[in-house]
């Protein structure tokens, strides 16, 4: 807020892109705000969701509160404060708030404390599958429940949870997470890109609130990933990529008895910054603890490569003032995700029991 001051008119050419963007705004929905493990009793976290600054806190008794990160009194961030028993206390004048936003104390004041104007805006909270979900419209009564992550609580599976951030819109991060062609190139040698390309069939199914790509006839992945996923197995690969409105990107692999499911819950912190909360569940012929040891650094390595590209992509959208994408068949899900998000934003979802289906062939290395 350092006075921006007047600016001389910008007169250089600058790029000519129209301000097109895949950013969509879907506030009447649940997003993961943090991992349960981040928020131990007594802890306070400041976090943005959809551009809204939130403060998350867990009381000594274990309850979680999610309030607008602004004291109603003098607008200091409550995330600077601390948990006092079952309340969150502002560091400036000591006002205290309950998990539902009620004002419990105004120091020095004689008389009633909890008045309507003194309440902090509160967000609905659910804790499940190891994540803290919030409903992104403050004060609203949710009309749905958060997405239930398959396998996350199934004792037959080992589940690893990770949180990472990328400089990219929810759309860009979701498309990246569910895109096949870049894996052979950007992540060359990790998944694909070693062998001669095979022609495979792709079947895309769109239900209006979610979309799925099934890859038929895909050879067993080469490289390190393939060897971990299914050592010594030569079974048929079943491979699905899914996007479920408004924030879930899911990759599923089955090879014989092996089952591998990565569910990424994407939370837009701001227009072009997204936090990805991943639950990676697997059931493999190897001991879970051993796979876990390899998997965590491997996942970070891959994601780091994606982070670099996403950041430069976003920087370029900033330089050019928007997106000017051209797509081909092999961008199997990107345009579907964009369309779903835009419809959800406008409140024009049209779902159906029978999906719209599109089939095409592509080369996979």
128 counts as binding a second copy under rule CB under 8 A: no
70 counts as binding a second copy under rule CB under 8 A: yes
Residue 319's SS3 state is: helix
Q: Distance (Å, rounded) from C-alpha 69 to C-alpha 76? A: 8
Contact present, 194 and 222 (Cβ < 8 Å): yes
Q: What are the DSSP calls for 257-296, one per residue?
A: TEEEEEEEEEEEEETTEEEEEEEEEEE-SS-HHHHHHHHH
196 counts as binding a second copy under rule CB under 8 A: no
In the bound complex, what is the minimum distance in angstroms from residue 196's beta carbon to a second copy? 13
Return the range that interacts with a second copy (CB under 8 A); candidates 5-13, 123-131, 226-234, 289-297: 5-13
In the bound complex, what is the minimum distance in angstroms from residue 159's beta carbon to a second copy? 30
Work out which of 40, 61, 108, 156 binds a second copy, going by CB under 8 A.
108
Q: Distance (Å, rounded) from C-alpha 109 to C-alpha 112? A: 8
Contact present, 257 and 265 (Cβ < 8 Å): no
267 counts as binding a second copy under rule CB under 8 A: no
In the bound complex, what is the minimum distance in angstroms from residue 45's beta carbon to a second copy? 15
Spatial neighbors of 273 by CB under 8 A, at least 6 apart, are: 165, 166, 167, 168
Q: Distance (Å, rounded) from C-alpha 322 to C-alpha 106? A: 47
Contact positions with a second copy (CB under 8 A) in 312-341 = 312-330
In the bound complex, what is the minimum distance in angstroms from residue 286's beta carbon to a second copy? 30
In the bound complex, what is the minimum distance in angstroms from residue 185's beta carbon to a second copy? 4
Work out which of 30, 97, 272, 303 binds a second copy, going by CB under 8 A.
272
105: its two tokens: 């104390």
Return the range that interacts with a second copy (CB under 8 A); candidates 147-155, 182-190, 228-236, 253-261: 182-190
Nearer to a second copy, 212 or 323 (CB): 323
Contact positions with a second copy (CB under 8 A) in 13-52 = 13-15, 17, 19-21, 23-25, 27, 50-52
Nearer to a second copy, 143 or 234 (CB): 143
Residue 251's SS3 state is: strand
Which residues are paired to 364 by β-bridges?
198
Q: Distance (Å, rounded) from C-alpha 41 to C-alpha 102? A: 20
246 preceded by a cis bond (ω within 30 of 0): yes
In the bound complex, what is the minimum distance in angstroms from residue 232's beta carbon to a second copy? 28
Contact positions with a second copy (CB under 8 A) in 205-264 = none
Work out which of 63, 84, 91, 292 binds a second copy, going by CB under 8 A.
91
């Amino acid at each position: 807020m350092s006075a921006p001051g007047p600016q001389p008119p910008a007169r250089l050419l600058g790029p000519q892109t129209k301000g097109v963007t895949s950013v969509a705004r879907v506030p009447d929905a649940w997003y993961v705000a943090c991992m349960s493990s981040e928020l131990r009793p007594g802890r306070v976290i400041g976090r943005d969701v959809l551009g809204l600054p939130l403060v998350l806190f867990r009381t000594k008794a274990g309850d979680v509160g999610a309030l607008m990160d602004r004291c109603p009194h003098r607008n200091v961030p409550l995330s600077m404060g601390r948990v006092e028993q079952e309340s969150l206390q502002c560091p400036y004048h000591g006002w205290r708030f309950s998990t539902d936003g009620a004002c419990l104390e105004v120091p020095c004041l004689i008389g009633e404390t909890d008045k309507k104007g003194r309440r902090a805006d509160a967000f609905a909270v659910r804790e499940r599958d190891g994540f803290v979900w919030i409903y992104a419209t403050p004060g609203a009564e949710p009309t749905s429940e958060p997405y239930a992550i398959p396998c996350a609580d199934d004792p037959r599976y080992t589940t690893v949870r990770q949180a990472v951030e990328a400089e990219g819109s929810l759309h860009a991060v979701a498309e990246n997470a569910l895109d096949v062609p870049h894996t052979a190139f950007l992540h060359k040698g990790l998944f694909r890109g070693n062998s001669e390309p095979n022609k495979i069939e792709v079947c895309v199914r769109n239900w209006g609130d979610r979309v799925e790509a099934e890859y038929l006839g895909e050879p067993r992945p080469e490289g390190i990933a393939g060897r971990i996923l299914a050592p010594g197995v030569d079974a048929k690969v079943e491979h699905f990529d899914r996007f479920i409105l408004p924030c879930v990107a899911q990759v599923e692999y089955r090879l014989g008895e092996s089952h591998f499911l990565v569910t990424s819950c994407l939370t837009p912190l701001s227009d072009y910054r997204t936090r990805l909360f991943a639950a990676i569940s697997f059931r493999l012929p190897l001991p879970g603890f051993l796979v876990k040891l390899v998997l965590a650094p491997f996942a970070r390595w891959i994601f780091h490569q994606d982070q670099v590209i996403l950041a430069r992509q976003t920087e370029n959208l900033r330089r050019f003032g928007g997106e000017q994408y051209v797509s081909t068949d092999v961008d199997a899900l990107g345009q579907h995700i964009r369309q779903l998000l835009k419809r959800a934003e406008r409140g024009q979802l049209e779902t159906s029991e029978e999906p719209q289906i599109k089939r095409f062939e592509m080369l996979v290395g």
